[in-house]
Structure formats: C-alpha cells, structure tokens
C-alpha cells in the first residue's frame, strides 16, 4: 500500500490519533428529550458508527437561548452532561473517538423555543428568509424576528460556550467542534449580509470575526486547542446567508484561527472550489472537508492535499459500517430523508450492516 495519505490511512489531528480519515459529520437528528438530555439510543447510534476516524455529535446547544429546534441536545445542565457521559462511555467501550459539536442557533429559532417566549437573538435585527421546524409533527413555518445582542451580553454568550465545553470535557468527549457555519449565531456575526452592527463586532472582517475568535479562544482554553475544531461554511447559503467578499471575511477569520493552532478547521458543504483552494493557502494546511463526497472523490481530495480528512453526513445516517464498506468497495444503503429529523429507532439505529445483509442473502 502506498505511504501517501489516503482516505483510509491514519492521521493525527491535534492531540487525536485517528485510524482513518472518514469522519462522521455532525447531524441534528432531533431525538433528544424535551429537557435536552440524550436517551440511551444515542449511545447505540454512535457506537454502531465507531469505526469512523472520528464521530461528531449533533449540534448541542450551549444555553436555553441557543435552542432553535425541537428535541435537540444541550449541555447547560448536569443532567445533560450525565446523559452525554453515558453516550461517550459507550463509544469508548468499542474503541471510537467522539467530538462534541457546540452551537447557538441565534436567529434560526422561534419564540416558542426561547425562555419566557422571548425574541431570539442575532448580530442584528434581520429576520432569516427561511422556514423553521415546528412541532407537532415537525411542520415548517417562518423564522422569528430576532433582536440584536447588546454589547454587554456578549461576554455571557461566550462564557456559555466555555461552560458547555467544560461540561463536554467532564463528560469525556475526545474533542469539541464549534459550529460557526450554516447561518447560526457565529455565522450571523461573520457574514456581512446579516451583520449590520457598528460596534466592535460589526463592520470590518476583523470586527465580524471577533465573536468567533472569542468563542474559540474560550472553548480552547477549556478543552485545549489541540482538541478544538471549528466548522465554517464560506460559500454556504443555507439559512439565508450571504457574504459580499467571502475571501476577505473567511481569509481574515482563518488567519486569526491559524494562530490558535487548532486540531482542525472543517468546511461545510464545500468541494474542490477555487475559494476553497485560496482559503487553504491562507489557512496554511489542509481542511476537513464535507459535502456530497463519494469514497473516490474523498480519496482524491486527500491525495491532492486540499483535505486532511473528509466528513460524510447522509452516507453515515444510512451506513453505520461506512468505513468497512469503503474498505471493500461495497454498495451503500440509501438514506431515508423522512426519518432524518425526529421519531424513533426507525432510521436511527436500524440501518443494516453489510454483514447482516450478507447473512440474509446467504
């Protein structure tokens, strides 16, 4: 076998030694309890997928105000921490590595999910032209009108990320990923289509990346920079996002992140584009990349040194043994979008392993 890095070769990400470069992308599955604790099924779900180089959890909320969707996990209470500890223990018992993704939804929320039915917060009072999941039955409707966070509220929001990271460390997670992508709160500060502030958190790219930097420094202080990753989506339009100068915005953010020497930077839904290559040059090292990859395109992107690892989302929902399938070039199960969000074990822990299918066919 060639010694050149490839999809199935091992790799070091900061303090983590991964057996392969197939990462399970973070995915919100809306099967947490109403109090933000995760039920035992989460342990089974992640343990089933433990041959991944690294598992990344569902976006986990840093505070009650951070919540934007029904039945998402949290990490602001001891009970939530204990429920995650049980999941982590199950993954470690089968030799897996698991990172916690932390998120604040910001304006991608509804008064119904907020404490005291308050307005959701954002960088600026700009409503997202997008639809939101509502219960019952996960029906959809418009996002709420947000209010701008006051300057004196900023340290508190940063501290909630740090506190959740501390609980994540206590729960035994191997690493933490900050969700700064996909139009959630940190991205609402980063990108100029939403951020209309005139204080030190708005205007220039330096100012717009200040909140990201403060959160990342605070989380890295709790977890260690070598166990901290950041997820960004420089060209993503999800949740009504845009930026007029993504190379400037994300180049500025990445230059500052590079100084922190993080375990990884994960670019969501970004293939081998010119912007990605230019940002890699700013960043100075390959990214963890995501979005519509196959085993072949993932392998080629790692060999081209654009990516150090590739995360797989939907393929991991449907294929707990994705690594083993990639190893022998086996066919993949097809994911069922109807069971992505909410529900029971169906579409969560019941996708068949290759060996189950082979036994059945035999």
Ligand X SMILES: Cc1cc2nc3c(=O)[nH]c(=O)nc-3n(C[C@H](O)[C@H](O)[C@H](O)COP(=O)(O)O)c2cc1C
- Residues identified as active-site: 184
Q: What is the DSSP string of 139-205?
A: EEEEPPPPEEPPGGGHHHHHHHHHHHHHHHHHHT-SEEEEE--TTSHHHHHH-TTT----STTSSSH
Quote the least distance from Cβ 191 to ligand X, whole Å: 16
Closer residue to ligand X, CB minimum distance, 83 or 148: 83
Q: Is 27 in the site for ligand X (CB under 6 A)?
A: yes
Contact 71, 31 (CB under 8 A): yes
Q: How far is the CB of 138 from ligand X (least distance, A)?
A: 12
Is-cis flag, bond preceding 56, omega within 30? no
The C-alpha atoms of residue 115 and residue 133 are separated, in whole angstroms, by 18
Cβ atoms of residues 175 and 90 within 8 Å: no
Instruction: Pick from 65, 179, 239, 319 the residue near ligand X by CB under 6 A.
Output: 179
Binders in 83-142 for ligand X, by CB under 6 A: 101
Structure tokens belonging to residue 211 = 């909140």
- The secondary structure of residue 106, as a DSSP letter, is T
Give the nearer residue to ligand X in terms of CB position, either 287 or 340. Answer: 340
Q: Which is nearer to ligand X, 194 or 315 (CB)?
A: 315
Distance CA 283, CA 303 (A): 18
Closest separation in Å from C-beta 130 to ligand X: 15
Query: Judged by CB under 6 A, which stretch of 3-11, 21-29, 125-133, 319-327 contacts ligand X?
Result: 21-29
Q: Is position 58 an interface residue for ligand X (rule: CB under 6 A)? A: yes
Nearest residue (CB) to ligand X, 50 versus 269: 269
- Give whichever of 87 and 148 is closer to ligand X, judged by the CB atom: 87
Among left, alpha and beta (phi > 0; psi -120 to 50; other), residue 71 is left
Least distance to ligand X, CB of residue 2, Å: 25
- Given the rule CB under 6 A, which of 81-89, 116-124, 192-200, 309-317 is the region that contacts ligand X? 309-317
Q: Which is nearer to ligand X, 292 or 358 (CB)?
A: 292
The distance of closest approach from Cβ of residue 174 to ligand X in the complex, given in angstroms and rounded to an integer, is 17
Residue at token pair 């890095």: 5
312 near ligand X (CB under 6 A): yes
For 296-305, b/e burial (b = at least 16 CB within 10 A) is eebbbbbeee
Q: Which is nearer to ligand X, 64 or 291 (CB)?
A: 291
DSSP string, 7-59: TTS-EEETTEEESSSEEEPP-----S-TTSPPPTHHHHHHHHTTTSSEEEEEE
Q: How far is the CB of 301 from ligand X (least distance, A)?
A: 13
Task: Pick from 14, 64, 203, 291 the residue near ligand X by CB under 6 A.
Answer: 291
Q: Does 28 bind ligand X (CB under 6 A)?
A: yes
Q: How far is CA 332 from CA 103, 301, 314, 325, 329, in A?
A: 30, 20, 11, 7, 9
Span interacting with ligand X, options 11-19, 24-32, 77-85, 257-265, rule CB under 6 A: 24-32
268 binds ligand X (CB under 6 A): yes
Residue 231 near ligand X by CB under 6 A: yes
Residues in the chain: 362
71 binds ligand X (CB under 6 A): no
Pairing of strands 22-24, 131-134: unpaired
Instruction: State yes or no: residue 269 binds ligand X (CB under 6 A).
Output: yes
Shortest Cβ 29–ligand X spacing (Å): 6
| Cα–Cα distance measured from residue 49 to residue 321, given in angstroms and rounded to the nearest whole number | 6
Given the rule CB under 6 A, which residues bind ligand X?
Answer: 25-28, 58-59, 101, 179, 181-182, 231, 268-269, 290-292, 312-315, 340
């Amino acid at each position: 076998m060639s010694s050149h890095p490839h999809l199935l070769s091992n790799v070091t990400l900061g303090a983590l030694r991964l057996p392969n470069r197939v990462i399970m992308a973070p995915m919100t599955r809306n099967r947490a309890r109403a109090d933000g604790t995760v039920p035992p099924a989460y342990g089974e779900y992640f343990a089933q997928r433990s041959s991944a180089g690294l598992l990344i959890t569902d976006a986990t909320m840093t505070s009650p105000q951070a919540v934007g969707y029904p039945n998402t996990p949290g990490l602001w209470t001891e009970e939530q921490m204990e429920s995650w500890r049980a999941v982590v223990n199950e993954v470690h018992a089968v030799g897996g590595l698991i990172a916690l993704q932390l998120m604040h939804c910001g304006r991608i929320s509804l008064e119904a999910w907020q404490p005291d039915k308050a307005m959701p917060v954002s960088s600026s009072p700009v409503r997202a032209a997008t639809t939101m999941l509502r219960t019952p039955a996960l029906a959809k409707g418009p996002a709420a009108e947000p209010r701008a966070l006051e300057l004196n509220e900023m340290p508190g929001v940063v501290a909630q990320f740090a506190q959740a990271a501390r609980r994540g460390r206590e729960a035994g997670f191997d690493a933490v990923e900050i969700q700064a992508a996909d139009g959630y709160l940190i991205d609402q500060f980063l990108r100029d289509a939403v951020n209309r502030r005139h204080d030190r958190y708005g205007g220039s790219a330096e100012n717009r990346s200040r909140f990201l930097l403060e959160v990342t420094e605070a989380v890295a202080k709790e977890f260690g920079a070598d166990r901290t990753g950041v997820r960004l989506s420089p060209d993503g339009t999800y949740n009504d996002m845009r930026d007029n100068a993504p190379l400037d915005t994300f180049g500025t953010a990445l230059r500052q992140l590079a100084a922190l020497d993080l375990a990884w930077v994960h670019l969501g839904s970004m293939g081998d584009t010119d912007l990605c290559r230019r940002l890699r040059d700013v960043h100075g090292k390959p990214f963890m990349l995501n979005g519509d990859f196959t085993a072949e395109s993932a392998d080629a992107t790692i060999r081209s040194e654009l990516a150090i690892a590739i995360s797989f989302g939907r393929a991991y929902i449907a294929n707990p043994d994705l690594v083993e399938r990639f190893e022998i070039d086996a066919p993949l199960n097809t994911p069922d979008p109807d069971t992505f969000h909410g529900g029971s074990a169906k579409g969560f822990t019941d996708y068949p392993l290759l060996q189950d299918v082979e036994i059945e066919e035999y």
